[in-house]
């Protein structure tokens, strides 16, 4: 699967296929193209994971656990072979009590 890396200062992420916002302000999916979502703080707990990815994800986690390694979301996404699916790695940075950055990975079916 193609992985597109982006840095953004906001959460205005629009589906390139539909032109609609991918998520609502509440964080719920707004686009029917969403196939999975990961957040860097809990990479082993994907949300909105579609049926087609669940078995592959479970196998990936099992391999990582057996090797006593942390879950590598990027390696998983690059290993998935689904025509028309694209993963977006979005890093947002800002200030809180100091510099803060967060990364999410969103898989969209653009076919």
Name the pLDDT band for 75 (thresholds 50, 70, 90).
very high
Report yes or no: 24 and 34 within 8 Å, Cβ to Cβ: no
pLDDT at 25: 86
- The CA-atom distances, in angstroms, between 44 and each of 30, 37, 64, 91 are 23, 11, 10, 18
Beta carbons of 20 and 34 less than 8 angstroms apart: no
pTM, two decimal places: 0.90
Distance CA 89, CA 104 (A): 6
Spatial distance between the Cα atoms of 38 and 18, rounded to a whole number of angstroms: 21
Q: How confident is the model at residue 98 (pLDDT cuts 50, 70, 90)?
A: confident
User: pLDDT tens for residues 20-57?
Assistant: 999 988 888 998 999 999 999 999 999 999 999 999 99
| Helix intervals (H) in the chain | 51-66, 73-79
What average pLDDT does range 84-111 have in this prediction? 90
Q: Is the dihedral of CA 90, 60, 80, 20 positive or negative?
A: negative
């Amino acid at each position: 699967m193609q992985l597109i890396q982006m840095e953004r200062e906001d959460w205005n992420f629009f589906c390139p296929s539909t032109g609609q916002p991918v998520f609502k302000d509440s964080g719920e999916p707004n686009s029917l193209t969403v196939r999975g979502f990961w957040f860097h703080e809990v990479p082993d707990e994907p949300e909105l994971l579609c049926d087609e990815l669940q078995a592959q994800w479970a196998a990936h986690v099992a391999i990582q656990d057996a090797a006593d390694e942390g879950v590598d979301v990027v390696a998983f996404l690059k290993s998935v072979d689904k025509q028309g699916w694209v993963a977006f790695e979005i890093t947002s940075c800002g200030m809180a009590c100091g510099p803060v950055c967060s990364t999410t990975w969103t898989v969209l079916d653009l076919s």
